[in-house]
Amino acid sequence: MQDPLIALRGLDHSYETLDGSQVEALRRIDMEIPRNQFLAVVGPSGCGKSTLLRLIAGLLPAQHGEVLLEGRAATEPRTDIGFVFQSPNLLPWLTILENVLFPLKIMGRMGPGGLAAARDLLRLAGLADFERRMPGELSGGMQQRAAICRALVHDPAVLLMDEPFGALDALTREEMSLELLRIWSERPKTVVLVTHSISEAVMLSDRVIVMGPRPGRVLADLPIAIPRPRASDCQYSQAFQRATQQIRHHIFGSRESFHAAAE
Amino acid sequence: MPRRSKGRRLWRMAAPPVATFLAFFILWDLSVRFLKIPTFLLPAPEAILWATLDVWDNVARHSAATIGTVLGGFLASALIGIPIALLLASSDLLNRALSPLLVLVQSVPKVALAPILVVALGANEVPRIVITFLVAFFPVIISTTTGLLATPRELLEFARSIRASRAQQLFRVQLPYAVPYIFSGLKVAATLSVIGAVVAEFVAADSGLGYLLLSATAFFNAPLAFGAMLLLSVIAILVFQMVAWTQRLFFRWSVSQGDLS
């Protein structure tokens, strides 16, 4: 097997709350993510999945254990990572195009290819006609698409997404996941998608990690064997149903057996 | 016919305030006439107008002096206040070290400080601009610092995720984010600048509308004193509008519907 692009080894993480008590956000996380895999991390709130993503991004320093990116320890943010946040997080004083170009400007990589790359991505995301608009003039879904373009403009090897569609309504959300699927199939990358939508996770990914809360830990690591290319009707396939049931079982299973025992 | 409808919209916007002012002056004029209020208490608008126009070259000279002081003090409060706010927002240590000093400076009564400054800085334009600055700078610092520190955590995380340096975070993310806050501080500073300039002219000046107002009162020329006062209000409105126009012209995106202008 080839070397994994991202490797997490014995990762523990805890933080202090305002009243001074320690909360264990992550306990003993070991994980390997091969290049160009689409990985989804599912779990209820408080299972440490956002913390996990920020550790991979180098936004949080690892307290225990290590995060390896191509074999090197990730202790600070790196330019081969793109991060998509829950809110579009666009800069309201820049046009959509300027927003997408912003990472290149900050990194000092604004060559002649930069503009072409940004325009290419905007076209891919269906935003070509909106590049001169201000973020405030666009809908939430369009803003989030622009944010995805912005995370991809410097052609990072890894795309990290923290509940990117969490703030959108259900219909826009489904449309956006198909959009993401399309962008990803044209530009394969290693993706780590944090979400609490089980169907979204199954629909998009090669592999789903199920996490449980208090302390945040891995409950299951499931391959998703639905053939690609996928479209929205793959939700009715047996493989899809089986995968979602399996994930549901890992998330709710312990609770259901608890109720069963109580009866 | 888009041009005509635009003109009509402008008229519809302008009509209510114009009507208010007309009604105000007519009511003023009528009360003075019918209640027989003596001129030294409250002159009629017409008397104010003529008293002012009679010495218009004098009035123009005094207005120019005041406008110079107001703009000087206002620009100083912006050019000094915004960098100080950047310092305060960039370091917790500096914030804790400098804040008490700033509050102390703000707490000193400027009217009491004015004569002392004149002794220290000499009887020229400098102490007047310094006093105007001291009256106006505080809201600029407070609102700019608030805006810089109000930048959402996720926006700063984004900046860090693309490896923006501390300076880039401050100047490319936090400072633009603070623009609406900066302008609300500048609008307050604009009107305070006129107050500062008048205070300075009361204490030490041989020109300016504040000086004109004081000397007109000394000679019981109430209409001219009122004229000077109204001109000061006009200057305050113009400086305020200048700030509002600057924001709308160069920072269109930062203007929200409910903004005072």
Assembly ipTM:
0.89
The verdict on a CB contact (< 8 Å) between A106 and B157 is no
Greater confidence (B208 vs A175) lies with: B208
Q: Which of A101, A106, A150 to mutate to test the interface with B (most CBs of B within 10 A)?
A: A106
pLDDT value, residue A247: 93
Distance CA B219, CA B31 (A): 25
Greater confidence (A74 vs B176) lies with: B176
Percent of chain B with pLDDT over 70: 97
pLDDT value, residue B3: 55
Would you say A6 and A209 are in contact if contact means Cβ atoms under 8 Å apart? no
Which among B160, B168, B253 has CB closest to A134?
B253
A109 to chain B, any CB pair closer than 8 A? The answer is: no
The answer to whether the Cα torsion of B122, B128, B132, B137 is positive or negative is negative
Q: What digits encode the pLDDT tens for the residues B216-248?
A: 999 999 999 999 999 999 999 999 999 999 999
Bridge partners of residue A194, in order along the sequence: A41, A162
Please tell me the distance in Å from A252's CA to the nearest CA on chain B.
31
Greater confidence (A18 vs A2) lies with: A18
Distance CA A189, CA A192 (A): 10
Q: Which of A114, A142, A116 is nearest to A130 (CA)?
A: A142
Would you say A141 and A168 are in contact if contact means Cβ atoms under 8 Å apart? yes
B60-252 is a CATH 3.40.50.360 domain: no
Tell me the domain boundaries of chain B. 60-252
Helix, strand or coil, per DSSP, at residue A126? coil
Q: Indicate if the pLDDT at residue B2 is higher than 80.
A: no
Q: Indicate if the pLDDT at residue B4 is higher than 80.
A: no
Model confidence band, residue B1 (pLDDT cutoffs 50, 70, 90):
very low
AA letter at B91: S
> Which two tokens mark B134?
């001291």
Mean pLDDT of B30-40: 90
Q: Of A173-177, A252-256, B19-23, B78-82, where does mean pLDDT reach its minimum?
A: A252-256
> Which two tokens mark B173?
């993310």
**Segments in A13-137 forming alpha helices (H):** 49-57, 96-107, 112-124
Please tell me the distance in Å from A106's CA to the nearest CA on chain B.
6
The verdict on a CB contact (< 8 Å) between A59 and B157 is yes
Q: What digits encode the pLDDT tens for the residues A182-213?
A: 888 888 899 999 998 999 999 999 999 999 88
- Give chain A's radius of gyration (CA, Å): 19
N- to C-terminal Cα separation, chain A: 48
Distance CA B148, CA A220 (A): 43
Distance CA A111, CA A94 (A): 19
The verdict on a CB contact (< 8 Å) between A106 and B172 is yes
Helix (H) or strand (E) holding A247: helix A238-262
Model confidence band, residue A170 (pLDDT cutoffs 50, 70, 90):
confident
Q: Is the peptide bond before A215 cis (omega within 30 degrees of 0)?
A: yes
pLDDT value, residue B160: 95
Distance CA A235, CA A239 (A): 9
The verdict on a CB contact (< 8 Å) between A79 and B162 is yes
pLDDT value, residue A196: 87
C-beta atoms surrounding A262 within 10 Å? 6
Beta strands in B35-80 (DSSP E): none
Residues in chain B closer than 8 A to A81 (CB atoms): 161
Mean pLDDT of B165-179: 96
Model confidence band, residue B258 (pLDDT cutoffs 50, 70, 90):
low
> Which two tokens mark B105?
């400076």
Q: What digits encode the pLDDT tens for the residues B146-166?
A: 999 999 999 999 999 999 999
The answer to whether the Cα torsion of A123, A127, A130, A132 is positive or negative is negative
The verdict on a CB contact (< 8 Å) between A106 and B160 is no
Helix, strand or coil, per DSSP, at residue A210? strand
pLDDT value, residue B14: 87
Residues in chain A closer than 8 A to B168 (CB atoms): 106
Model confidence band, residue B260 (pLDDT cutoffs 50, 70, 90):
low
Q: Which B residues 143-172 touch A at CB under 8 Å?
A: 152, 154-155, 157-164, 168, 172
Q: Is the peptide bond before A156 cis (omega within 30 degrees of 0)?
A: no
pLDDT value, residue A262: 44
Mean pLDDT of B111-136: 89
Distance CA B48, CA B39 (A): 10
Q: Indicate if the pLDDT at residue B79 is higher than 90.
A: yes
The verdict on a CB contact (< 8 Å) between A79 and B163 is yes
Would you say B41 and B222 are in contact if contact means Cβ atoms under 8 Å apart? yes
Q: Measure Cα distances from A112 to A59, A79, A116, A117, A131 in Å.
A: 30, 19, 7, 9, 17
Beta strands in chain A (DSSP E): 6-16, 22-33, 38-42, 64-69, 72-73, 81-84, 158-162, 190-195, 207-212, 217-223
Percent of chain A with pLDDT over 70: 95
Q: Indicate if the pLDDT at residue B177 is higher than 50.
A: yes
Q: What digits encode the pLDDT tens for the residues A106-121?
A: 999 888 889 999 999 9
Phi and psi, residue A192, nearest 5°: -115, 115
Model confidence band, residue B12 (pLDDT cutoffs 50, 70, 90):
confident
Helix, strand or coil, per DSSP, at residue A36? coil
The verdict on a CB contact (< 8 Å) between B253 and A92 is yes
pLDDT value, residue B39: 87
Residue-wise DSSP of B27-81:
HHHHHHHHHT--TTTS--HHHHHHHHHHTHHHHHHHHHHHHHHHHHHHHHHHHHH
Q: Which CATH architecture has domain A1-80+198-263?
A: 3-Layer(aba) Sandwich (3.40)
A79 to chain B, any CB pair closer than 8 A? The answer is: yes
Mean pLDDT of A234-260: 80
pLDDT value, residue A116: 93
pLDDT value, residue B208: 93
Q: What digits encode the pLDDT tens for the residues B85-121?
A: 999 999 989 999 999 999 999 898 888 888 888 888 8
